Structure 1
Amino acid sequence: MTDYQIRKAINGGELIRLKRGWIAAPDAEEALKYAARNALTITCVSQATRLGLWVREPDPRHFAVPRPGREVRAEGNRVHYCRAVEARPKFALEDTVANVLATVAHCQPKEEAIAVWDSALNKRLVVRGYLESLPLSKRAQQVLAGTSQFADSGLETYFRVRMRWLRVPIRTQTWLIGKRVDFLMGERLVVQIDGSTHVGPQRDADNAHDAALASAGYTVLRFGYTQIIHEWPAVQEAVMRAINAGCHNRR
């Protein structure tokens, strides 16, 4: 657009001027407009959500300060000053995937951070080898060490992370009787984690597979969102009862 066209669009209400060098449509995303006005970059769980990654509960908006030494008023937002692990393009309003993950590692509880990293690996937005090549902090390295590219949801991440203390082999996304199961504990204990897709035909297919597994001598435990997020002690108790009964061992 020419300068004349831009001025005409602004005068006609088709565009708004955010600051020198920045214009936007009136209905543009508020986070993008705020970032442009304040020379910030959307990062952490805010950008993770925009990328379609697993985030348990949206936080206040998270922004990175791309230029060291600047002080920015939070105004109800969360502002991050941590060092970027890869260079941000000049004037970028959205952070890179690697920088998002590195920021999440420092901002979120470890379990939540691993879930976001798992999601990025599962969606193939980044590969593990590249992350290993970056100058990650010790905290981010610990998060990376706990990740898996096979978690289809944060619920699976939570289960895997929370049950690591058991001295029972846990395999993820294992093929049994024609379909993948979320977790195989030992040789015979199957744990399935249900997300929002466990309805209608999908639920019927899952129930049929559960029946086939049971007929083949497997014990199947199935848990949903509410149980994993809000009733974890009951979930852990159910798993422990099955293990104490020897359900994970080949009969």
Structure 2
Amino acid sequence: MKNILEGKTVLIAGAGGIGNGLAKRYAAEGANVVLGDIDVSIAQEAIDAITQSGGKAIATTLDGADEASINAAVSLCLDTFGALDGLHANFAFMADGNPEVGILELPLEIYDETQRVNARGFYLCTRAVLPVMIERGGGSIVYTSSAAGDAGSPAQVAYAMSKSAGHALMRHVARRYGAAGIRANTIAPALTLHSRIEHLVPPEMTEFARAAAAIKARVGRPDDLAAMGALLLSDDGSYITGQVIAIDGGTTMRP
């Protein structure tokens, strides 16, 4: 099997069910992985599994919405592995999830925190890694978004707005820094089940997601996002940039 990330160092901002899946796949593809999260113990679970399998990975405390914290994580990549080739920004604040709440009912403090973490956080992460990648001669940035970023919905207005903002950021980076060897893309999943949330998701929600997708056999898994992320971070994806790629079983179909 070809290790498509061999020799690359990838920073993943945001652990958990999806983030840990990303870390394991990227390490399996040969990457040096730095996985950060506010709760470093969650990141450490993935790192332990990776190192036990012979991979190179470290965990760190990381608040992606705090400039000093993300700068420290970038420095950790450079100090430990001597380089930074890829960033996968994967964290999100998701308190805006009540399907009964719209713009008139949503507390302003939830709106503000959603934008601070999801939109401003991705912005700060991007500012932190770009100078390092440009100096290195190039790099790849992947953002985890959501189908909510492009879907009209009667709920999740703050969350959807934050994800749409991330799409605009990604396109700006791709357009402005492409000549410097920087690629930027967004992965947009629909419902993605993993062990950390499976018991919390009502069966009717899972069935709704399955019914909405063109692929009916199952709903999304972290492995689906990780497979696409590995391609986008690798040289095999060297001519892909500026794209929002839906990993949702055909729930959405854009021209």
TM-score by length of 1: 0.31
Answer 1 or 2: which has greater helix percent: 2
Greater relative contact order, per chain length (Cα 8 Å cut-off, separation 6+) = 2
The structure with the larger Rg is 1
